[in-house]
Structure 1
Amino acid sequence: MFQSFEVTARPEQGPPRLAALREQMVQEGLDGFLIPRADAHQGEYVAARDERLAWLTGFTGSAGFCAALRDVAGVFIDGRYRTQVKAQVAADFTPVPWPEVCLSAWLKQQLPNGGKIGFDPWLHAAGQISGTLSDLEGSGIELVRCENLVDRIWADQPAPPMNPVKAHPIEFAGEGADSKIARLAEDLRRAGHKAAVITLPDSIMWLLNIRGSDIAYNPVAHGFAILHAGGQVDLFMAAEKLAGVRDHLGSQVTLRAVGDFLDAVAALAGPVQVDAASVPQIVADALGDAMTDGGDPCALPKACKNAAEIAGSAEAHLRDAVAVIETLCWLDQQAPGSVTETQVVTRLEENRRKDNALQDISFDTIAGTGPNGAIMHYRVTEETDSRLEKGHILVLDSGGQYLDGTTDITRTIAIDDVGTEEKTCFTRVLKGMIAMSMLRWPAGLAGRDIECVARVPLWSAGQDFNHGVGHGVGAYLSVHEGPQRLSKVSHVPLQPGMILSNEPGYYREGAFGIRIENLVVVEDAPLLPGGDAERAMLNWRTLTYVPIDRRLIMADMLTTDERDWLNAYHRDVAEKIRPRLGHDAQLWLDAATAPI
């Protein structure tokens, strides 16, 4: 473990690869080809074999795609990556702001006389293709299914991952796989569905209480599943992965070869439930009229953690806090200019490894100092590795995959004396994070209904940030987990047991970045003194316990309630974490959690 399997490309490698791709397009009679950052399972994270977008363009972000035409190649990226993409792609590729500019509008502008655009039907979701086709109607532009043209020219493309699967203990899962299968099968019967096709790896892992390592930092294995309304599951996965879990899977699960998947899908009697947002177009083609879009049956049950999963996640966060605090203590002992970003990353990962329950980090650690902190998903390389100089602020975003839970925490750290402007912006971000932490809201609201609470202090100063306020988090599963989000586009009602991040930020390109992140779990809100039970309310319980850098706080900008929240939070940090620390870190924590 503790290794990255990511494929990367230098900007100068992009133009010859793009030229080779265009030769294939000409041979196929195509005017363009779509290269998504996706695999056949449509999850957020992909194995090295499926890093086609990075291999072709050099762009390594976790979302986006390329539309390569014969004379232009657009790289579509959202607000998180508009600084990053400039440094990663050659001039032959044109960054396109997405979703502000959608694919269909761009294609119509580039191909006013129509054309044929090829796509690999394994790598595009059915809902995505149907939406694009609808938008292209009357334009003369066709979407053409074809084999993957990037795979044709990628001579040293890595092999598919074949790592062993292991059972996930019931003490951490909190519910047996047989119970999960039974209650989800009952949901299918109530909906009148004969079966559900499941393609998301984390859904399959959750349903069957198994974990894998086919994708870096994510404990999942590649495969497909069909859940039948009668309570049986067909699991399509390479046999060599499953040698150690055959007894664990039991008689309810039939193991089948991956090559049998499409034939099995085509043989299903409808209606068959799928998630159109994630099921590959080729699966929709096989189902035909039998398909109905009812969502991934595992998504919501997986998101609403049970008591064992919440307890495990809470304990994992306490142990994780030790690693982070020991690292922050060490960092404060170093003279400005004597430490690099890489050294911070290495020290933090070494401290996490001291916990035997750690299986891996949960994503590539982000340690961006000074201008690098303004790159939201920055990852240090040999070329960009920078020293933490006096006056810098460091954005340190990291997490761990523990047997009992997944962590994700960001702290922004002052390197000696920091300017007033940086402190003012930091305090606005902190005010937004505290506002979200303190929020009580009526049951039934979704992330889009409340996410603005964390932005208001920045809005008051004409500032904002180009990422969501928070994402869902798994229980020893993916660090980014749906369907819940604190986002302008999330319509999924928040429910007790959901774990999300609370992470407002602010980024000034070329200068500095700021982000403060805690993980929080949704709970039923207690009745307030003197209140009534007119409406069910929800609130957050914080899981993350690491100090927030007091040196960056403009105390006179905080209200009394905000100051009280911060001081109470720091008291909790000291109470929960101090007994777990070494002597030096205890002394550091005492100072870091002193009241404001």
Structure 2
Amino acid sequence: MRQNFDVKGGPQLGRQNLPRLRDAMKAQGLDGFYVPHEDEYQNEYLPACNDRLAWATGFTGSAGAAMVFQDKAVIFADGRYTLQVRDQTDPDLIEVQGLPDPGPFGWLARQSLKDKTVGYDPKLMTPNDLATLEESAKKAGVALKAVETNPIDAAWDDRPAEPMAKVVPQAVQYAGEDAGKKRAKIADALKEDGAEAAVITSPASVAWAFNIRGGDVACSPLPLSRAILKDDGSADLFLDPQKSSDALREHLGNQVRLRPMEDLEPALGELKGKTVSLDPALASAWFFRELEAAGAEITRKRDPVLLPKACKNDTEIAGTEAAHVRDGAALTRFLHWLATEAQSGTVTEIDAALKLESFREDLGDLNDLSFETISGAGPHGALPHYRVSSASNLKLERGTLYLVDSGGQYLDGTTDVTRTVPIGEPSADMKRHYTLVLKGHIALADVRFPEGTTGTHLDTLARHPLWQAGLDYDHGTGHGVGVYLGVHEGPQRIAKPWNSVPLSPGMIVSNEPGFYREGQYGIRIENLQYVTPPESIPGGERKMLGFRNLTWAPLSRDLIDLDLLSPAEHEWVNCYHAEVLEKIGPLVDGEAGDWLKEQCQPL
């Protein structure tokens, strides 16, 4: 079992650890301290040793922050975690506020805290966030202090050890390109920008640029690492020596100097007088401080690895397609189980999550889940990022909907798929809302668009059917996905907020509109798809890009209201199901295979 359903956070952590933190703050002359969720690597998933916000408050959500003072503490979490944050924190000790409004910086700006000193850890904050904190502190009348030792680290007596998983080569048969050639292209890009080196702070970027993978972070095969890429194609790679091996050293070759993590600070000092590219959205303020102190000339540029990593090559696309077909077969077996055994009303959310995990395990090549399975029955389905625990575990009761969002990590690809299914007979409202979501999903799957189009331009397509009914959803419509890397990656995104990165051939994005009726049910339909090269359209004047689907698993035909589908949408569903049967059918036999054939019959 790869999932842990015993939540490790909870109010007891705040009751136990806030006094310790305050003692450590007092020893450093701090009246307050800012606690972000992010760690030194800005990872989405944190190793246990870096989950500082959970240690201090008990809140284990993947986004949030806290302001801790000697006489009060305030935690900030967004709408995804409204219930969780209140369940996991002690209301007598911690006040709950919203994120992003007011957010920690907005809240601080409204306080009157003259002559107070608030500390922050420059290794955990980007310079952009630090600038906002400085502005808020000025309005509140507080002095800011960058700490050398995080007071949480000082107070955390039983802090888990840092992960030390071995770093292994990612074969070219999966990567599609030699790592040396990748870095040579990045070196050429640095020269064009007038930079002599780039400091790469994101473990995902390091993993891609060096064709390596690790196991330091749950659900993402990442090695906790840093790198300095130079304009001659050579590089310094910073890893703990325990993670290395002869095979790794041979793989890296002579152009890469493998150095221990303790060498990172002096290595930054070696960049004195050089023009260095550094990403202010990914690198912490500490990197900027160290490079400025060393006398380097910093150019604030996007991580040069991000865009090449996002635009998958032919090998990566082929591998991802293969991974999705196998994964789709496992998911189809699970959907058959949901349609038969799980209709009893006695199956729980945890039972279902484990059953799906077992079907993926049966494939024989699952390396990890790509995230903790969102297994939401009834009202829990209305929480887009719900995480089931032994304390919250509901039964899949008849007359309700069940939402499952899950994925796997395979050597050749990363999957992420959501399906919503009825348990028992669905209501007319359930069918109507499901069909509106499906109409938005089809619109985004079928769109053609010119070069230069961003995800923001397309987001409205997925929402339009819901908007016409006076409905909406409060999360993004699509995120980038890696290839045996993170299930969430940039720089592309499909969402309401502005994204300046055009969708380009080879980019993988999710297509996941939804609808959530609080306290009753949630609906989301998610497939992954990738951007296809521009092609001419008969009678058209400009070449257009489009999307090619990656995810293959039947939709819930019992939830489709045919009267709401246009003829073109009706045909889309039939064509999709025909292709599901063609690709998945040979891999699913017995009763599940017979069920799949029924599900994929024309509407």
Q: Does the TM-score normalized on the shorter chain lie above 0.5?
A: yes
User: Shift of the alpha carbon at 1:127?
Assistant: 2.3
Partner of 2:527: 518
Q: Distance in 2 between matches of 1:71 and 1:110?
A: 14
The residue aligned with 1:148 is 150
Please tell me the residue identity of whatever aligns with 1:469.
T
Q: Give the whole-Å Cα distance in 2 for the aligned partners of 1:292 and 1:531.
A: 42
The match for 1:167 is 169
Shift of 1:139: 4.2
1:385 and 2:393 equivalent? yes
The alignment's TM-score, normalised by the length of structure 1, stands at 0.96
User: Corresponding residue for 1:460?
Assistant: 468
1:322 aligns with 2:329: yes
**56-65 vs 425-434, greater mean Cα deviation:** 56-65
Mapped contact 1:3–1:216 kept (Cα < 8 A): no
Task: Structure 2: give runs of 5+ residues left out of the alignment.
Answer: none
Find the counterpart in structure 2 of residue 221 from structure 1.
Answer: 223
Give the CA deviation at 1:5: 11
Alignment partner, residue 497 of structure 1: 506
Q: Are 2:239 and 1:230 aligned?
A: no
Within 5 A, what are the aligned runs for 1:68-107? Answer: 68-91=68-91, 92-107=93-108
Q: For 1:415-434, what aligned pairs fall within 5 Å after superposition?
A: 415-434=423-442
| Compared CA separation, residues 474 and 102, structure 1 to 2 (3 A) | same
Structure 2 equivalent of residue 531 of structure 1 = 540
Q: Report SS of the residue matched to 1:292.
A: strand
Letter aligned with residue 600 of structure 2: T
Cα deviations across residues 519-547 of structure 1 (Å, max 9, x unaligned)? 000112432222223xx321110000111
Partner of 1:61 in structure 2? 61
| C-alpha distance 102-343 of structure 1, shift in aligned 2 (>3 A) | closer
> Could you state the TM-score of these two structures normalised by the residue count of structure 2?
0.95
Distance in 1 separating the partners of 2:89 and 2:303: 35
Residue in structure 2 matched with residue 549 of structure 1 by the alignment: 556
Contact 1:6 1:51 in 2 (8 A): no
Alpha-carbon separation, structure 1, partners of 2:466 and 2:84: 23
Partners of 1:34 and 1:78 in 2: CA distance: 17
1:110 counterpart SS class: coil
Question: Given the superposition, is the C-alpha separation of residues 566 and 592 from structure 1 closer, same or farther in structure 2, using an over 3 Å criterion?
Answer: same
Structure 1: stretches of 5+ with no match in the other structure: none
One-letter amino acid of the counterpart of residue 260, structure 1: D
Tell me which residue corresponds to 2:254: 251
Counterpart in 2 of 1:25? 25
Counting aligned pairs with the same residue, the percent is: 44
Alpha-carbon shift at residue 88 of structure 1 (Å): 2.3
Please state whether the residue corresponding to 2:470 is helix, strand or coil: coil
Q: Give the counterpart letter for 2:537 in structure 1.
A: L
- Asked whether the 8 Å contact 2:137–2:144 carries over to 1, the reply is no
Number of the residue aligned with 1:291: 298
Q: How does 1:260-409 map to 2 (within 5 A)?
A: 260-268=263-271, 269-288=273-292, 290-334=297-341, 335-409=343-417
2:529–2:549 contact (8 Å) kept in structure 1: yes
Distance in 2, Cα, partners of 1:463 & 1:87? 28
Note the C-alpha offset of 1:567.
Answer: 1.1
1:481 CA displacement = 0.8
1:190 aligns with 2:199: no
2:18 counterpart of 1:13: no
Deviation at 1:114, TM superposition (A): 5.4
- Conserved 8 A contact 2:323-2:414: yes
Farther-moved stretch of structure 1 (316-325 vs 440-449): 440-449
Residue type of the alignment partner of 1:300 = L
Deviations 1:206-236 (A, max 9, x none): 0000100000110010011000112111011
1:407-426: CA deviation from partner (whole Å, max 9, x where unpaired): 00000011010112222211
Retained in 1: the 8 A contact 2:105–2:132? no
Report the Cα offset of residue 372 of structure 1: 1.2
Structure 1 residues 460 and 591: alpha-carbon distance in aligned structure 2, compared to 1, 3 A threshold: same
The answer for the alignment partner of 1:568 in structure 2 is: 575
Residue 36 of structure 1 aligns with which residue? 36
> Is the 1:439–1:540 contact (alpha carbons within 8 Å) kept by the matching residues of 2?
yes
1:591 aligns with 2:598: yes
Provide the alpha-carbon RMSD of the alignment: 1.7
CA distance in 2, matches of 1:6, 1:32: 31
Residue 443, structure 1, aligned to residue 440, structure 2: no
* 1:363 to partner: Cα distance: 0.8
Q: 1:4 to 1:223 in 2, by over 3 A?
A: farther
Decide whether aligned partners of structure 1 residues 509 and 89 sit closer, same or farther in structure 2, where only a CA change above 3 A counts.
Answer: farther
> Aligned-pair distance for 1:590?
1.4
8 Å CA contact 1:233, 1:252 repeated in 2: yes
Partner AA of 2:278 in structure 1: V
String of CA shifts for 1:41-61, please: whole Å, max 9, x gaps: 112221111111122222222
Secondary structure (helix, strand or coil) at the match of 2:491 reads strand
Q: Is the 8 A contact 1:7 1:54 kept in 2?
A: no
Give the AA of the match of 2:123: W
SS in 2 for 1:379: coil
Distance 1:446 1:120 in 2: 34
Q: In structure 2, what is the Cα distance between the partners aligned to 1:420 and 1:4?
A: 36
Residues 122-161 of structure 1 aligned to structure 2 (within 5 Å): 122-137=123-138, 139-146=140-147, 147-161=149-163
Find the aligned partners of 1:21 and 1:110 in 2 and give their Cα distance: 22
User: How far apart, in 1, do the equivalents of 2:52 and 2:470 lie?
Assistant: 38
Does the aligned pair in 1 maintain the 2:58–2:88 contact within 8 Å? yes
**Partner residue of 1:113?**
114
Alpha-carbon distance in 2 for matches of 1:7, 1:417: 33
